Structure 1
């Protein structure tokens, strides 16, 4: 296993180390890679060791105001936990390898565009092979015994309680949940507005499969799922896919859906709109 790779020096000035990280995970040389805001690769074992970890999973295609609201509000709750030392805490914006495979194959330019924006906001990024959340938590637990928090939306929480993701485990969903909610793991739940009824969906009224209701109640009433209540209602409607559609169709209105400065970077560097050599050849 190769956990990290970095090229430096005058002969490698054209090499982007984030792309080199992607090659490691694409070629099954490691399960997860990380890079910092400066674009340099990080050794996960060193960065995560004995840290409190708050992770936010998403496509970040592109990163939006709602992504930042999820991060900021969950971070405020996380660091108020009496067991969390803010100075020993790392925040990770995580993208799964499967999420990068939007059209079957990984689009390296698309990956670089996402990375460019997250780095510009000053965040550490992880690319992982862990499609299921419990595998991500298991990975974190290899390096730390401190607090772990996961920030997610209602749809992600509903997916976690879907048995189909755990059929390969001999213990099924119970085995997965034993690994997911190991020790002090906390889920910070960002609400969602029901597009049909306008109702705000939280941990109190989320709809899980009837067979999972009692299991969900167990974790809910044992404090494993905490609602983010001071969210910004004006950004709840924003989804990356809608922003990307507007951007690619040259429609108005996408700029105000993004954090400050992000729209300018997208325009300046033509992110998400440049064609790759393969696309131009078609």
Structure 2
């Protein structure tokens, strides 16, 4: 049995929220529960108001009181309620109740679902805008295992009532998309903003799982969030799943490395290891609370024109294989990256970079859009508790460029000296001399042209993975053996 997708062509007029809710209600096979905590029963309200809800809604509840919530779903180890763990406990509990209370033999064609959210809206003092977790666990065939979509949102509106209405619209879009656009997850993502504006909310994490999404890579869905302007930055863990940046970065010492990683080379990893060794020796750095982030900017992904999703996935797979946490951001300028980190931590941060990157930071052309120009940017960058760990550059004549002899624009010379001699820029001295001639673009060119010797420029195991997975246009290992 399949759910009809007729009448949902990409260029059709966007159906109203009432139309979406009514279409779900009138589908005799869709049946489930709504559990909403913290912002009222805003999603299920849309389905009640649309009419015909008796065939769809088995139960609607809001365990608003914390004691009642704990009695139903259990107590979280961290004592918090607006968390991903809480959302999954809610979905587990509610789906189990459906399966326990309804006899499958009596409902052979029903596709069960449970929609849940745990949300906090803006506080009275308007200091905290509010955020929440929203998810649906559901079937697209009666006898199939459950699939799931879960996401994290941040409110941008300054009124609790408006945030509640936004939540109700988003929830309806999610349920509708889950049933009628599950086979086109990229479109499903965009349709989450039907009748909403990006000034109303930000979606910074989303994960798809289960049989309906067996071919979906959540790293690629992360990229879509940034690409579609739904958020400025997304993060995924070494296991490939999207993770909430706030959870990973909260009160951490952060060391970030920006690069193309196309592919990741020995120089990238040498820069990481040497800067990390220096970073954790800082007085204000707690090794137990240190988070390393490999960052790729959207502008870097667009360097060759339109974003090549396969190329992005190749980079992502390599970094994940090395056990790294990856951030995809829309921050072309470093000060924006540091500002972003500063939302989550006041602890010391570090940026590891090469000479060319530091020279670019002191280029005024990147700050013409700021009323305060480069001084405003540097106020946001260097007046944080920040260190730059500088990896040297080998010149054509065999000499080295480091923080002591790099050249910036004459107008920037005194500004550079100020930050350099106040300990904001520190040279990486214990580097591997052999890596100074390694460049990602050279490796990529050699791979594409079938040249030999590029394997020696990459970290252990990376070349094998490139061949096995045919990354960056490389011939497969089997082809190599047959030649």
After TM superposition, the score normalised by the length of structure 1 is 0.96
Q: Tell me the equivalent position of 1:169.
A: 370
Q: Tell me the equivalent position of 1:12.
A: 213
TM-aligned CA deviation for residue 77 of structure 1: 0.4
CA distance in 2, matches of 1:258, 1:102: 22
TM-aligned CA deviation for residue 274 of structure 1: 6.7
Instruction: Report the secondary structure of 1:80's partner residue.
Output: coil
Does residue 243 (structure 1) correspond to residue 443 (structure 2)? The answer is yes
Instruction: Report the secondary structure of 2:467's partner residue.
Output: helix
Q: Tell me the equivalent position of 2:348.
A: 147
TM-aligned CA deviation for residue 13 of structure 1: 1.9
CA distance in 1, matches of 2:406, 2:206: 42
Pairs within 5 Å for 1:11-160: 11-160=212-361
CA distance in 2, matches of 1:61, 1:202: 24
TM-aligned CA deviation for residue 14 of structure 1: 1.4
1:198 pairs, out of 398, 404, 409, with: 398
TM-aligned CA deviation for residue 230 of structure 1: 0.2
Q: Tell me the equivalent position of 1:259.
A: 459
CA distance in 2, matches of 1:58, 1:101: 13
Contact 2:467 2:474 (8 Å CA) reproduced: no
Q: Tell me the equivalent position of 1:278.
A: none
Give the RMSD, CA atoms, in angstroms: 1.0
CA distance in 2, matches of 1:140, 1:273: 35
Instruction: Report the secondary structure of 1:130's partner residue.
Output: coil
State which drifts further: 175-184 or 131-140: 175-184
Instruction: Report the secondary structure of 1:123's partner residue.
Output: coil
Q: Tell which has more relative contact order, 1 or 2 (C-alpha 8 A, sep 6+).
A: 1
Gaps of 5+ in 1: 276-282
CA distance in 1, matches of 2:274, 2:417: 24
CA distance in 1, matches of 2:372, 2:309: 37
TM-aligned CA deviation for residue 253 of structure 1: 1.0
CA distance in 2, matches of 1:4, 1:274: 32
Instruction: Report the secondary structure of 1:113's partner residue.
Output: helix
After TM superposition, the score normalised by the length of structure 2 is 0.56
Q: Tell me the equivalent position of 1:221.
A: 421
TM-aligned CA deviation for residue 11 of structure 1: 2.3
TM-aligned CA deviation for residue 102 of structure 1: 2.6
Instruction: Report the secondary structure of 2:431's partner residue.
Output: coil
TM-aligned CA deviation for residue 103 of structure 1: 2.3
CA distance in 2, matches of 1:274, 1:11: 31
Does residue 272 (structure 1) correspond to residue 472 (structure 2)? The answer is yes
State which drifts further: 117-126 or 181-190: 181-190
Does residue 179 (structure 1) correspond to residue 362 (structure 2)? The answer is no
- Paired positions, count: 274
1:162-182 deviations in Å (ceiling 9; x for gaps): 000001111110000000112
Instruction: Report the secondary structure of 1:73's partner residue.
Output: helix
1:152-207 deviations in Å (ceiling 9; x for gaps): 00000000000000011111100000001123100000000112x21111100001
